[in-house]
Chain A
Amino acid sequence: ETGVTQSPTHLIKTRGQQVTLRCSSQSGHNTVSWYQQALGQGPQFIFQYYREEENGRGNFPPRFSGLQFPNYSSELNVNALELDDSALYLCASSPQQGWGDYGYTFGSGTRLTVV
């Protein structure tokens, strides 16, 4: 059984650029969530994808967008990068959306630095 894999591990971008982060969910998990964690803070929910559709969104602007593919892998896209977007981006997968209590399996994250 594989865990959640994120790529790349580290990334440096210039303000105004666009970035795509990738996540492969754990085998058997069809729900993927993305979180942003600023230094010294707890993770903040960005959005969740279930069966290729966005299912819930946190307080993030539209320049944060995502995709989920038929194999349940996912991408996070951020346009017009700002310095405050510098953070650790975490992907988490879970067995299913809806009724039930499940812990999430997190990837190791992508450290994004915007300069």
Chain B
Amino acid sequence: SQQGEEDPQALSIQEGENATMNCSYKTSINNLQWYRQNSGRGLVHLILIRSNEREKHSGRLRVTLDTSKKSSSLLITASRAADTASYFCATDTTNFGNEKLTFGTGTRLTIIP
């Protein structure tokens, strides 16, 4: 079963604009991770935020986590055509961590040149 739900399911923006994707989940987590997938191939790990963290940055990526609302957001600033991909949030809910990830349904992001 899916733990997380991404919103929106699909997003199209002009190159250079910022893209924001949201993720909601149902149970307590150890950490939450964001992954990118190009054209139905392998997933690329983007960023991990721990349950005791509220915000994290990596390059053009900014992730926030609100454990009280069981939600996270991924912001991509100054989007590029190469950012076109599907983005998934994944939660680690296991007792000791690093045992399995539960993925959401994904957001399909299209950057229009």
B42:A101 contact, CB within 8 angstroms:
no
Main secondary structure of the interface of B (DSSP, over half): loop
Q: Which of the segments B12-20, B61-69, B70-78, B101-109 contacts the partner chain? A: B101-109
Main secondary structure of the interface of A (DSSP, over half): loop
A99:B105 contact, CB within 8 angstroms:
no
Interface residues of B in 34-48 (CB under 8 A from A): 35, 40-45, 47-48
Chain A contact residue count (CB 8 A cutoff): 35
B84 CB → nearest A CB, Å:
17
- Of A48, A103, A108, the contact of B99 (CB 8 Å cutoff): A48
Interface flag for A65 (CB, 8 Å): no
Chain A residues with Cβ under 8 A from B88's Cβ? 42-43
In the complex, what distance in Å separates the CA atom of A6 from the CA atom of B100? Answer: 19
Taking Cβ atoms with an 8 Å cutoff, the residues of B that contact A are: 1-2, 4, 30-31, 33, 35, 40-45, 47-48, 50, 88, 90, 92, 94, 96-106
